[in-house]
Every structure is written in structure tokens, then in C-alpha cells.
Amino acid sequence: MAIKLNAEIREVAGKGAARSIRNNKNIPAVIYGEKKAPTAIVLNGHEFEMLIKTPALRTKLFQIETNAGTEDAMLMDIQYHPVTDVPVHVDFKRIDVKKPVNVVVPVEVINTDVSKGLKLGGVLNFAVRKVALRGLVDAMPEKITIDLTDMTIGDAVHGSDLVLPAGIELGLHQAELAFATIGGKMPEEADATKAAPAAAQAAAPAADAAKK
């Protein structure tokens, strides 16, 4: 579902105008892209600060309404004040909802408590925590999950193994990445490794006796 956002068009640009906007507890912003001239806008500061608490905002479609009409866009960047951490500028990019977009979303592992490999003493290496995806914005997931339930020691999940929603595909160079692996030795291998030195020590006296 699209996020509807009301904004006012800025008639005056520049640092002085932006400072005045912030002094009024609002946020200067811009909408660019789709081979159109950038549009400078003003966002309601309180409303936007509440909005940015929403998870996965960068995967959402925004419908920004101004007195000039409605723009379909995606959130690209938020600049924050270095001391107060208050948003001071926002960038949106226009999109055509009928064309695919490129988005980076987080990857999450689930069912660590019941994972076969972890129960056997394996160690999880969760190496890549974001994945680049391509598809229509309406179908874009907020995150991708990796289910560890049936993974055992020695197993790995590569980009090509990720479960993606219909119509969503991996971005470039993602298929061969190892997102999560379970390392370690299987119990029987560990036991064999421990047993080998003991067997060698036990065999040593017998070998010495045979020489005599």
C-alpha cells in the first residue's frame, strides 16, 4: 500500500530559505528523476518524523501530493543534523510504477533455536545481511528471511537459494554470494579427530615392544 504524503512546493530555494523552513519545524525536500526537472518541496516536520519510524520505508511507494498534483516516488536519502539527529533534508526519486526498481533490503535468519546444524554444535556465519533486488515496487518485500531449521553443518545459503516473492529477482552479482553458512565438524568427525591421538599413544608401547 502506498504511503500518502502531503507537501508544499517551495517557491524559493537556497540555504537561507532552507534554514527558514527548518526554523518553522518543517523539512526541505526534493523530488527528482524520470527525466523531469527537480521539484523542491516542504514536508511537515512532525508528521515526517513520526513517519520515519515505519519499518522498511525505502521499499515503499510514496504518493506525494502537492498543489501541482501527485508524484509517485521512493525515498532515497534522509540527511540528519549531526548533533540533534533531526532530519534536515529528504530526497525522493520519481518512479514509474509499471517499471521495475532496484532496492536493497535486509536479510534475516530465523529458527536458530531449532536449527539441526546449530544443535549439533555448528557455528552460524551470517556474512551478508543485505540483498539487492529488482522488481515492481508493489511486490517488493520489506526483508528476505533465511530459515535455518533444516540446515546442518556444512550447509550454505547462496543468493540463488533465497526465497523471493513472485516477480522479484536478484540484483546483479547477488546469486553467488554466501549469505549464511553453518561451519564446524559433525559429531562423528569430531570424535574421530579426538580418538586419533589416543590411538596413536596406545599403539606406541606395542610398537616399541615389537622392536625389542
Q: How many CB atoms lie within 10 A of CB 17?
A: 14
Task: Tell me which residue has cell 520519481.
Answer: 94
pTM, 2 dp: 0.81
Question: Closest Cα partner for 169 from 105, 109, 125?
Answer: 105
CA distance 63 to 74: 9
| Confidence class for position 81, pLDDT limits 50, 70, 90 | very high
DSSP state string for 71-112? EEEEEEEEEE-TTT--EEEEEEEE--TTS-EEEEEEEEEE-G
Using one digit for the tens of pLDDT, what is the confidence trace for 12-32?
Answer: 878 888 999 999 999 999 999
Q: Which domains does the chain have, with CATH numbers?
A: 3-94 (2.40.240.10), 101-189 (2.170.120.20)
Q: Copy the grid coordinates of residue 63.
A: 504518493
C-beta of residue 162 within 8 angstroms of C-beta of residue 170: yes
Q: Copy the grid coordinates of residue 88.
A: 534536515
| Confidence class for position 156, pLDDT limits 50, 70, 90 | very high
* 3-class SS string, 131-149: EEEEECHHHCCCCEEEECC
The pLDDT score that the predictor gives to residue 37 is: 94
Q: Copy the grid coordinates of residue 56.
A: 522498511
Which has the minimum average pLDDT: 20-34, 90-104, 178-192? 178-192
Using one digit for the tens of pLDDT, what is the confidence trace for 193-212?
Answer: 555 455 456 555 555 555 55
155 has pLDDT over 80? yes
